[in-house]
Amino acid sequence: MTSDLLPSWRAGRARDEIAAFLEVSDQIPPEDRLACFDNDGTLWCERPRYIQLEFLLHHLRQRVSADPALAETPEFAAVLSGDGSAVQQVGLPRIALALTDLFTGLSADRFRALVREFMSSAENPVLGRPHRACVYLPMLELIDELRRRDFSIAVVTGGGTEFVRAVGRELYGVAPESVVGTLLEYDLADGDDGPVLTRSGRVSGTINDGPDKVSHIQAQLGRRPVFAAGNTTGDREMLTWAETADGPSMALLVDHDDATREFSYPGTGESASPEEPIDEVARRRGWTLVSMARDWDEVFPSPLP
């Protein structure tokens, strides 16, 4: 390995284990070289709120400004209040569907344009960085090293597929067809100039989390990953599936323990198992546990794009 391998990674166990996997990755048949990365909290910052939620709230406020009556909708009233108990009482699933429904009837192109417009200027309210600059430099370096070894890279997210597809190529070099996320159904109708395809507010299948990440990878990509990276219990099954593949394989878990440069919080996620936290799963199964504070010399790209 050359001395410039993964320059933003500090010397230590995590970097050594990654280097060891990269060293033997040529033993993996080229057609089996698939690496799957969770997005929120693994490739980009997910605090103080998910970036997609920030996008949805941004457009909700615009819509309420034009139509104040919308603020009286229970789901919108709860989220706009900032009252955690009110949000809990209404329920996150109801709120998520109501926010998503704001874009019902839009074409895929129009929705993609709105996402890119938001990402071109919106900032993380705590870090003071543009959201597009809140990607993790060490993970980008890891993606580049995997690509140099002919790995296909996929983003496997619990977030909306179309949201991540709108920025995946720019941020990660990942094509739209290599994003596996929570899908919405589309409606097809006849228009004056031909077929018209528009977004619905209906989820297609299930939310892409936990065991559904594995089934959706197989259904949409048709291959089993031999490398997977995540940060919560919602990634547990995906990491286990990759780790138990034949031949060289790797599971990597990012631990957010850097309150100075980013945030510090346990990687439990909403689907957390109280019996065994995900970091304990990682230690028991021998996954590579990455400490953001100890293992990353730099967290974000510099200078700002």
In CATH, what number does 13-48+132-295 get? 3.40.50.1000
pLDDT digit string (tens) for 32-87? 999 999 999 999 999 999 999 999 999 999 999 999 999 999 999 999 998 888 88
Q: Look at residue 87 in the predicted model and tell me its pLDDT.
A: 86
Assigned token pair, 51: 């970036």
pLDDT digit string (tens) for 153-170? 999 999 999 999 999 999
pLDDT digit string (tens) for 84-125? 888 889 987 788 889 999 999 999 999 999 999 999 999 999
CA gap 220, 152 in Å, rounded: 14
* pLDDT band, very low/low/confident/very high, at 274 (cuts 50, 70, 90): low
Distance, CA of 287 to chain centre: 20
Q: Look at residue 305 in the predicted model and tell me its pLDDT.
A: 59
Residue 270 has pLDDT above 70, yes or no: no
CA dihedral 92, 98, 99, 102 (to 10 degrees): 170
**Residue ranges per domain, the chain?**
13-48+132-295, 51-119
CA gap 188, 203 in Å, rounded: 16
Beta-strand (E) ranges in 73-232? 152-160, 179-182, 184-191, 194-203, 227-230
Q: Look at residue 92 in the predicted model and tell me its pLDDT.
A: 77
Q: Look at residue 300 in the predicted model and tell me its pLDDT.
A: 98
| Cis ω before 301 (30° cut-off from 0) | no
Q: Look at residue 3 in the predicted model and tell me its pLDDT.
A: 57
Q: Look at residue 51 in the predicted model and tell me its pLDDT.
A: 96
